[in-house]
Structure 1
Amino acid sequence: LLQENYKAWNIAKVRNLFSKDVAEKILEIPLVSSVREDKVVWEEERNECYSVKSGYKLAMRYIIDSDKYHVVGNWNGIWKAQAPHKARHLLWRLCRGCLPTRSRLLERRVECTLNCPVCDEEIEDELHIFFRCAVARDSWSAAGLSSVLHNATYQQTNAMDRIFVVCSNESSDTVGRVTMLLLCI
């Protein structure tokens, strides 16, 4: 749409390509008089130069902000639990779906049997390991937390939702005890 090697509209070309109204609007657009050569600028760095570090940070920011990786829940309840960091980290991994249960391993095409190696009664997933397995239920009773395990309020269909509800409704001390129990299981 511009003249070859010259900073002006190619009027004939603009009028041939567009309707009269559109062509006139295009031709009214003023062109910058000074012509500088284009240059690539990376806005994520002050010096405007790309670095792998800034590219990685941008990619991570994009990934973390996407809905795919955003999980709504009571994350503060997990981190405020009266328990060691590694126990709270277990809860975080449980809620993020990062534990290598047999059902998760199979999703990632790792060949293994699906049933729980402890009771061999159900598929080993987070809900079974921590809440439904006979050994887990015995552990809840031995820890004096069977009232939390059997509370009708906490009968969600997945372990993540169950943990978030417990964190929202119980004291940080009780959540800490539950967290330590899950770590021991």
Structure 2
Amino acid sequence: MAKDVAERILETPLLSSVREDKVVWEEEINGCYSVKSGYKLVMRYIIGSDKYHVVGNWNDIWKAQAPHKARHLLWRLCRGCLPTRSRLLERRVECTLNCPVYDDEIEDELHIFFRCAVAWDSWCAACLSSALHNVAYQQTNAMDRIFAVCSNESSDTVGRVVITVVS
């Protein structure tokens, strides 16, 4: 570029409204960083692998009419984060695999929350046993069963299911 052109560019006055540069987080409308937007960015770009993506309508869990800690437990249940005996064994923790209450079944999420006699008593006490033994809710794992209930039942019923799972 010619020297005179460069000098004319540098002599161009800036607008009076131009201020000094500042750091702006483009993931938020207000330009300020939030943990939520940081988490979304990480999930979108860095991890980006199907290994970490679990298919399901997660919004149905978060919309349930129940306390946040109850919905969080349900989320952990669906993500496979609860330390059931079957999960512990997968992680090479030495333990017996069967349910400590009724030794005849393997202790996994489905057994603990739906099939165990103790769980069944809880469902009956909450007047939810007929809803959960509906043909539509006979999935082979707890996550699919939870998603089916969340998709097909009212938010009130889903809230009662969430509370019963927690208790």
Normalised by the length of structure 1, the TM-score is 0.66
Residue 123 of structure 1: SS of its match in structure 2?
A: coil
**1:92 and 2:107 equivalent?**
no
Q: Does 1:115 align with 2:115?
A: no
1:62 aligns with 2:51: no
Which runs of no fewer than 5 residues in structure 2 stay unpaired? 1-22, 25-37
- Deviation track 1:67-90 (CA, whole Å, cap 9, x = no partner) reads 011111110110000000110001
Q: Quick one: distance in 2 between partners of 1:120 and 1:86?
A: 30
1:167 is aligned, of 140, 150, 154, to 150
Structure number with greater CO (CA < 8 Å, separation at least 6) is 2
The equivalent of 1:79 in structure 2 is 62
CA-CA distance at 1:62 after TM superposition: 2.1
Quickly say closer, same or farther: Cα 1:146–1:59, change in 2 above 3 A: closer
Give the fraction of aligned pairs with identical amino acids, expressed as a percent. 82
Q: Whole-Å Cα distance in 1 between the matches of residues 42 and 164 of structure 2?
A: 37
Aligned residue-pair number: 130
Give the equivalent residue in structure 1 for 2:16: none
1:123-162 equivalences under 5 Å are 123-162=106-145
Q: CA shift at 1:59, angstroms?
A: 6.6
User: In structure 2, what is the Cα distance between the partners aligned to 1:94 and 1:139?
Assistant: 17
Q: Alpha-carbon deviations, 1:107-142, whole Å to 9, x = none?
A: 000000101112222000000000100111111011
Counterpart residue type for residue 62 of structure 1: I
Residue of structure 1 equivalent to 2:28: none
